[in-house]
Amino acid sequence: MATFRKYGKGWQARVSWYDDDGNRHYTSKAGFKTKMDAKVYALELEQKKQDKTIANKSVSLVRYYKEWFETYKAPKIAPTTANRYKILVKVLEQYFGNKKIDKITRYDYQVFINEYGKNHAPDSVKKANAIIRSCVKSAILDDLINKDFTQRVELTWNEEKILKVEYLNVKEIELLISELKKQLHPSFPSRYMILTAIFTGMRIGEIAALTWKDIDFNWHTININKSWDFINRKFKKVKTDSSNRIIRVNTELLDILQDLKQNNTETNLVFDSVFGTVPGSGAVNKVLRKILKQAGINKKGYHFHSLRHSHVALLLYYGVDIYAISKRLGHSDLTTTTRKYAYLIDEFKAKSDDHIEDLLNNFSTKKTIKKVQ
C-alpha cells in the first residue's frame, strides 16, 4: 500500500512490501514537486510488486495485526481502548498461531467466532469482530489478500455471559443521596463525585475533568468539554464528538458544589483532593461500596458506572423522553442509548403500557357514560 504526505516544499511517497521470510519493508522517496509525481513513482513500485521484482509474500494474521495496530491505531486511541486490541492479539495467537493471512478462509473465521463466542458475551464478540474486520480491510488495501474473509459471518455468543448492570430504584437513590450528604467534607471529594454522577449521569472521566469554569451557577448548567487522563494526570478529549455537551443541573447539586468551592479555593479542578490528585475509579468505588453498605443497600455488582444507569432509570421513572436522555448522556444517536439501556427501557415500557391501558379504559368509560346521559 502506498501513502503520500507533504515533505518540506514537496511530496513524499512511501510503499511497503514483504520479503520471502515474511518481513515487512518500506521504501520512500521525497522531493516530488506534486502529489501526482509521487503517485507515479508509487505506481512503478506497485508494478514491480506485481511482477515479483519486489517480493510480496504473505505474513501471518497475528504478525500483520500487530503491525497494523502499532501503525494505524496505537497513536490515536486511549490506553484503555489499546488494551482491548492487545488482549485480542493473545486470542489470535492462541487460535491462529502462525497461519498466513492469505490462507484463512471465511469458514476458518466462522469457526473461530463460534469458539470465541462460547465463552464471551455479545458485546465482547461484536467488539472483537469489529476490530478484526478493520484489520482485514487494511490487509486488502495492502494487497495481501483479495477477499474479506470476515464478511457476512454469523456472530455467536454466550447469553449466560451477559452482565446485567445493577441500578438503584428511586427509593434506593434517595437513601444513597441522604447517606452521602451526611458525610460530605471538602477534603474528601469522592462523595461529591458520586453525587454529581447521580444527578447528571456523567462518566467518571468527565466528572474528574470538571473545572470551576465549567459550572455556571447562574444558568444552572455544566459544560462537559473534556475528560481526565488518570494515568498521565492531564486533560484529554471526551469519548466522542457528541460527548461535548451542556446539561442542565438541579439546585441541590449546585448548592453542594458551591459549598465545596468555598472550601476549596486553591485549585481549578472541582474534585481535586488534599493530595493534589483527583480520586480515580478505585478510590471512588471503595467509598461508594462503603456508603451503600451504610445505607443498607445490598448491590454486590454495583460500581461507579452503574450510577449512570441509575440516572437513566430515574429519568425514565419520571417520564423524561428517551431523546432528551440520549442528548444528556452525550450519545451520538438514539440507537446507542436504546442499545445500552434496552433492559431499562423495556422495564419502564411495561409500566407505561399499564398506564396507557388505564388511560384508555378511563377514556372508554367516560364516553359510555356520556352516551347514556
Indicate if 34 and 92 belong to the same structural domain.
no
Please tell me the predicted confidence (pLDDT) of residue 116: 96
Higher pLDDT, 7 or 104: 104
- With 50 as the cut, is the pLDDT of residue 54 above it? no
**Which of residues 138, 161, 184 is at a domain's end?**
161
CATH assignment at residue 153? 1.10.150.130
Indicate if 103 and 224 belong to the same structural domain.
no
The residue range of the domain holding 152 is 61-161
- With 70 as the cut, is the pLDDT of residue 370 above it? no
Indicate if 99 and 145 belong to the same structural domain.
yes
Residue 80: burial class (beta carbons within 10 Å; 0-12, 13-18, 19+): exposed
Indicate if 78 and 114 belong to the same structural domain.
yes
Q: What is the 3-state secondary structure (H, E, C) of the chain?
A: CEEEEEECCEEEEEEEEECCCCCEEEEEEEEECCHHHHHHHHHHHHHHHHCCCCCCCCCEHHHHHHHHHHHHHHHHCCHHHHHHHHHHHHHHHHHHCCCEHHHCCHHHHHHHHHHHHCCCCHHHHHHHHHHHHHHHHHHHHCCCCCCCCCCCCCCCCCHHHCCCCCCCCHHHHHHHHHHHHHCCCCCCCHHHHHHHHHHHCCCHHHHHCCEHHHEECCCCEEEECCEEECCCCEEECCCCHHHCEEEECCHHHHHHHHHHHHCCCCCCECCCCCCCCCCCHHHHHHHHHHHHHHCCCCCCCCCCCHHHHHHHHHHHHCCCCHHHHHHHHCCCCHHHHHHHCHHHHHHHHHHHHHHHHHHHHHHHHHHHHHHHC
- With 50 as the cut, is the pLDDT of residue 112 above it? yes
Contact (CB, 8 A) for 201 and 311: yes
Give per-residue pLDDT as tens, 144-156. 888 999 999 999 9
- With 80 as the cut, is the pLDDT of residue 294 above it? yes
- With 60 as the cut, is the pLDDT of residue 118 above it? yes
Give per-residue pLDDT as tens, 268-278. 899 998 778 89
Indicate if 183 and 288 belong to the same structural domain.
yes
Contact (CB, 8 A) for 173 and 198: yes
Note whether residue 206 is domain-resident. Answer: yes
Give per-residue pLDDT as tens, 4-25. 788 778 888 877 766 656 677 7
Most confident of 100-109, 232-241, 267-276: 100-109
Higher pLDDT, 112 or 121: 112
Q: What is the mean pLDDT of the chain?
A: 85
Most confident of 125-129, 156-160, 166-170, 258-262: 125-129
Indicate if 43 and 11 belong to the same structural domain.
yes
- This prediction's pTM: 0.64
Indicate if 232 and 100 belong to the same structural domain.
no
Indicate if 153 and 186 belong to the same structural domain.
no
The count of structural domains within the chain is: 3
Please tell me the predicted confidence (pLDDT) of residue 343: 61
Cell 449466560, located at residue:
160
Q: How confident is the model at residue 48 (pLDDT cuts 50, 70, 90)?
A: low
Indicate if 149 and 249 belong to the same structural domain.
no
Indicate if 219 and 333 belong to the same structural domain.
yes
Note whether residue 347 is domain-resident. Answer: no
